[in-house]
Structure 1
C-alpha cells in the first residue's frame, strides 16, 4: 500500500507533463504552419494561449488558476482577439480587392504571361499511364517520349517525327490533367520553349512583368510601361518619367495602413455620412422605443396575471410566456408572412374591414412600425417575468395606506407600483437597450434593411441598424467588400455599447448604495 501511494503521484506527474508536452507540440506545429502562411496574428494568438496554459498548469504556485484558465482563454479567443483584430482592420484599406500582402500581390502579377510566338495544336496519343505529346507545326509533327500524366517532369523535349497512327486521346483526358499540363514546359529542337495556352494549344510565352532590382518596380515586357506600388491606395499603378502615378490601378491590390481615413469617410463622405447619421438615430430610437413598449406591455400584463380575483391565472401566465419560449427566428419568419403585402393575413383583414393594404416592406415609416411591433412581441415576456417577481416584493402596507388616503388603482400604479418596479429594473433596462442596439437577427430576417436608401456610396436601408449596416458594408457592397470601413463602424459601435455598459455599472453601483 505504501508503494502504491508513492507511485500514484509519480504517475500523475508523468501524465501531466506528457499531456503538456503533447499539447505544446501540437500547438507549436500549428503555430509554425500559420506563420509559414503569413497568418501572423493567429500564430501569435496560438503561441500566447499555449504558453499561458503551460505556465498555469506546470507551476505549483499557479496551479489553482487552472479552474479559471478556460474562461480566460475563451475571453482572449472570442472577445479580446476579435476586438483587437477588428480595430486593427479599421485602420487599413482591407477590402474585397485589397486582401493580399504586398509580396503575395506582387507574385500574382509576376505569374501573368503573354504569348510571344505562334501557337500550335497538340494531342495526346497512347493510353493511361503512357501517353505521347504531339505538336502539329508547319515543319511537321513533333513527338515526345512516353510520359505518365500523373508524374510529369517540369520540362519535356520534343523531336521531329511522323504523326502517330493510333487514335488521339479525347478532350476529357486533357481536361482531367489540365493542371499538370499547364505547368509543363515543352522544348523544340530550334530552342523554342512552349507552354499550354489553351485546351488544344501550346505557344511560346513570356512573363508579362519583369521585377527590377529595387524589388518593387515592375516593367510590362509587352508594352514597356513602368509600374510602381502606390502605398496610399494599395495598388500597383503606372508611373510617368517624373515618377508620378498615372492611369488605372492594377488588381489585385494589397493591404496598406490607411490611418484615420475610414473614420474620416464616415463623417465626410456624403454617401456615407447621411445614411450613417440616419441609421444611428433610428438605432437609438428603435432601442429606446423597444424598451419602453416591452416594459409597458410587460408591466401591465404582470399586473393582470397577478390579480388575485382573476381565475385561471396560471394558464394565462403560461400562454403569455410562450413567445419567450419559441425560438426568435421562428416568430420573426411567421410575422414576415403575416405582414406580407399581397398575401399576408394582416393585410387581408385590414382590406376586408377598412379597405386598407399597407405597404409594410416598401414604406420606410410602416417598415419601422412593423419592426417595433414584432420586437415588442418578442421582448414583452422577459419584462413580464421580471415585473411578476418584483411585484411580490412590494409591501402590501403601501397599498393599504394608499387606500386609506382615498387613492384609486391608477394612483397606486403610477405612484407606488411603477416607481417600485422601475428602480430595480434600471440596470436590466439598460442591458435590454444595449441588446437591441445590436439586434442583427431581427433586421436580417424580417426586412434585411429594406427599403433601401437611394444615392448612397455603400448599401444602406431605412430599417438598418448600425450592426446590420456594418454587415452589409462588409459583405454586400456593390463596389467590393469594404472590411476596413465596416471595422471602423464596428469600432464606433463597440465604443457606444461600452459606454452603455459603464452607464449600467454606474446605475448598479448607485442601486447597491
Structure 2
C-alpha cells in the first residue's frame, strides 16, 4: 500500500515532456532577444547621429529598463507595471516636460534651428566664380556616362571625365578630370551625341553630388542643369563662434537674447536660432502692455465662459431632472427622450447646425426675430452677442449631462423626507431648497468641477462656431474676443502669429497648472463627498 501511494505521489509531481512548440520557443528565444537588442541599439544610434544626444540617452535608459524587467528574475515584480509606467513617462510626463522646456525658449517659425545648425547652414552658402564657370554635356558610354566640360557653348571640349556609373552612385563622389586630347586618356570609343535635357534632369540628384577635380586641383561644383564651376564661400568661421562675410569682412556674432547672428551695425542674418530666454515668455504675459491687455481679457472670458456654462447647464439640467421626477407627469419617458437628444447627437454636428441657425442673413433664428421684433442681431460681428451665442450653444450641449446625473441622484434621496415635509405643509420650493438641492449638490460638486475644467479647454466649440472672432483691434498678436486660452494658444502656435511655439508653450504650461489645480480641488471634493 505504501509502495502504491509512493508511486502515485511521485507520478503526481512528474513533469510532461516538452512539446515541439516548447523546443522551438527555447531555440528561438535568445536569437529573437539578440535581434530586439540590436534593433534597439540601432534606433538609439540613429537618434544620436541626428544630434539628439539627450533623446538617445532617454531611449537607451528606457530600453535597458525594459530588457532588465523582462529578461531578469530581479525585475519579475515589475513585468505587469512596466508597460503602464513606461506609457505614463512617454505619453504624459515627457510631453509635459518638453512643452514646459519650450516655454523657456524663443522657438518659433523664425527660430527653428539650433545655433550650430544655423552656423553650418550659413557656412554652406557659396557664390560661383562666374569667369571660371564651364558648360557641360553628358554622353552615354555603354552602360556608363561621361561628362565633357567646355568653356562656352560650341567650343572644343577641354575636359573629360572617366566613365561614371551614375545609376549606382551613392553619396558625394570626387572625379578627376583629364584633358580631352590627352594621350594618356584615349577614349575607348567616339563620344555619342550629348544626352537631352530630360536625361540631365533624370540624373540631377547624382550630378549634384559630384565634385570634379581639374589637374591643377581646382574643384568644380554642380551649379545647375548646364554648368559646373568653382565656388567661394560667402562666410568664414571664427574661433569665437562668429562669422565673417567674405564680401566685405563684416563680422556677425550670435546674439542669444534675440536668437540671430548680428553685426555691430544692427544687421541680422536669417534664419534665427533657438535660444534660452528664461522667463521671457511669462514676463511678456505680465509686463508687455500690448500683449497683456488681450491676454487678460481672454483669460477672464475663459473663466467666465466656463463658470456661466456650468452654472446655467446645472440650473437647467437640475430643473428638468426635478420635473421629470414627478410621478404624476404624463409622457415622462417621451419628454426625457427629447431632452436627452442634444447629448446623443455628436457635438460637432450640433455646433455646425447652430452656426447656420445664427447666420445673420439666412439663419432661422434671425428670421424669427425679424418677423416678431423687426431685428436681425449680428451674432458673429458683435462681441457681446458672439459670447452670448457661445453660451447658448454650450449650455444646450451640456445640460443633458447634468440632467442625467441629477436624475440618478434624485433616486437616491429617501422618500420619507418628502413625506415628512408634506406633513409639515412645506411647499415644493421649500422641498427643493431644503431637501433636494443640499442632498444633490454634495455628490454633484466633483462632477461640476470636472465640467468646469472641460469647458476651460473647450477648443472644438470655439473653433467651429466663431473661430475666436471678432478680433481685438490694434494688437501685437492677433487675438479674438471670443477666444479662450486654448484657442488663443492654437492661434499663436499655428495660425496668425508667426508660429510662436515658445509663447504658446508657456501659455499651455499655465493652462496645465490651472487644470491641475482644478483636479486637486476635484479630488478633495470627491473625498468629502464620500465621507
**TM-score of the superposition, structure 1-length normalised?**
0.89
Pairwise CA distance, 1:187: 4.2
**Is 1:343 aligned to 2:356, yes or no?**
no
Q: Tell me, in whole angstroms, the C-alpha distance in 2 between the residues paired with 1:501 and 1:247.
A: 49
Q: Tell me, in whole angstroms, the C-alpha distance in 2 between the residues paired with 1:444 and 1:323.
A: 19
Pairwise CA distance, 1:24: 3.9
Q: Aligned residue for 2:259?
A: 234
Q: Aligned residue for 1:456?
A: 475
Pairwise CA distance, 1:495: 1.3
Q: Is contact 2:360-2:378 (8 Å) kept?
A: yes
Change (3 A) 1:275 1:157: same
Q: Aligned residue for 2:167?
A: 150
Pairwise CA distance, 1:277: 0.3
The correspondence for 1:34, drawn from 28, 47, 72, is 47
**Is 1:57 aligned to 2:64, yes or no?**
no
Q: Aligned residue for 1:302?
A: 321
Pairwise CA distance, 1:192: 4.6
The correspondence for 1:354, drawn from 373, 385, 396, is 373
Q: Aligned residue for 1:498?
A: 516
Pairwise CA distance, 1:128: 9.0
Q: Which region of structure 1 is more displaced relative to structure 2, 256-265 or 124-133?
A: 124-133
Q: Aligned residue for 2:113?
A: 100
Match runs of 1:70-85 below 5 Å = 70-85=83-98
Q: Tell me, in whole angstroms, the C-alpha distance in 2 between the residues paired with 1:127 and 1:432.
A: 75
Q: Is contact 1:158-1:186 (8 Å) kept?
A: no
Q: Is contact 2:150-2:159 (8 Å) kept?
A: no
Q: Aligned residue for 2:500?
A: 482
SS in 1 for 2:130: strand
Match runs of 1:124-143 below 5 Å = 124-126=138-140, 129-138=143-152, 140-143=156-159
Runs of 5+ unmatched residues, structure 2 = 1-10, 182-189
Q: Is contact 1:125-1:132 (8 Å) kept?
A: yes
Q: Which region of structure 1 is more displaced relative to structure 2, 255-264 or 48-57?
A: 48-57
Q: Is contact 1:140-1:160 (8 Å) kept?
A: no
**TM-score of the superposition, structure 2-length normalised?**
0.86
Q: Tell me, in whole angstroms, the C-alpha distance in 2 between the residues paired with 1:203 and 1:18.
A: 53
When Rg is computed on C-alpha atoms for both structures, the one with the higher figure is: 2
Pairwise CA distance, 1:181: 2.1
**Is 1:177 aligned to 2:206, yes or no?**
no
The correspondence for 1:445, drawn from 452, 457, 464, is 464
Q: Aligned residue for 1:242?
A: none
Change (3 A) 1:160 1:18: closer
Q: Which region of structure 1 is more displaced relative to structure 2, 307-316 or 119-128?
A: 119-128
- In the alignment of these two chains, the number of paired residues is 504
Change (3 A) 1:127 1:475: farther
Q: Aligned residue for 1:241?
A: none
Pairwise CA distance, 1:430: 0.7
**Is 1:224 aligned to 2:249, yes or no?**
yes
Q: Tell me, in whole angstroms, the C-alpha distance in 2 between the residues paired with 1:332 and 1:466.
A: 20
Pairwise CA distance, 1:112: 0.5
Change (3 A) 1:120 1:55: closer
Q: Is contact 1:361-1:447 (8 Å) kept?
A: yes
Q: Aligned residue for 1:387?
A: 406
Q: Aligned residue for 1:317?
A: 336
Change (3 A) 1:283 1:129: farther
Change (3 A) 1:45 1:357: farther
**Is 1:262 aligned to 2:281, yes or no?**
yes
Q: Give deviations 1:341-386, integer Å, cap 9, x for gaps.
A: 3333322333333332222222211111111111112211211110
Pairwise CA distance, 1:44: 3.6
Q: Tell me, in whole angstroms, the C-alpha distance in 1 between the residues paired with 2:489 and 2:111.
A: 18
Q: Aligned residue for 1:511?
A: 529
Q: Tell me, in whole angstroms, the C-alpha distance in 1 between the residues paired with 2:313 and 2:141.
A: 75
Pairwise CA distance, 1:105: 1.6
Change (3 A) 1:235 1:14: farther
Q: Which region of structure 1 is more displaced relative to structure 2, 44-53 or 66-75?
A: 44-53
Q: Tell me, in whole angstroms, the C-alpha distance in 1 between the residues paired with 2:26 and 2:285.
A: 57
Q: Tell me, in whole angstroms, the C-alpha distance in 2 between the residues paired with 1:388 and 1:471.
A: 37
Q: Aligned residue for 1:4?
A: 16
Q: Tell me, in whole angstroms, the C-alpha distance in 2 between the residues paired with 1:114 and 1:502.
A: 61
Change (3 A) 1:14 1:129: closer
Q: Aligned residue for 1:292?
A: 311
Q: Is contact 2:141-2:192 (8 Å) kept?
A: no
Change (3 A) 1:16 1:266: farther
Pairwise CA distance, 1:15: 7.4
Q: Tell me, in whole angstroms, the C-alpha distance in 2 between the residues paired with 1:338 and 1:380.
A: 20
RMSD of equivalent CA atoms = 2.9
SS in 2 for 1:458: coil
**Is 1:110 aligned to 2:123, yes or no?**
yes
Q: Aligned residue for 2:187?
A: none
Q: Aligned residue for 2:136?
A: 122
Q: Aligned residue for 1:43?
A: 56
Q: Give deviations 1:429-456, integer Å, cap 9, x for gaps.
A: 1111111111112212222211122222
Change (3 A) 1:25 1:294: farther
Q: Tell me, in whole angstroms, the C-alpha distance in 1 between the residues paired with 2:149 and 2:371.
A: 78
Pairwise CA distance, 1:402: 1.9
Change (3 A) 1:46 1:190: closer
Change (3 A) 1:23 1:204: closer
Pairwise CA distance, 1:168: 4.0
**Is 1:205 aligned to 2:222, yes or no?**
no
The correspondence for 2:100, drawn from 87, 90, 95, is 87
Q: Is contact 1:219-1:225 (8 Å) kept?
A: yes
Q: Is contact 1:121-1:201 (8 Å) kept?
A: yes
Q: Which region of structure 1 is more displaced relative to structure 2, 40-49 or 397-406?
A: 40-49
SS in 2 for 1:415: helix
Q: Aligned residue for 1:434?
A: 453
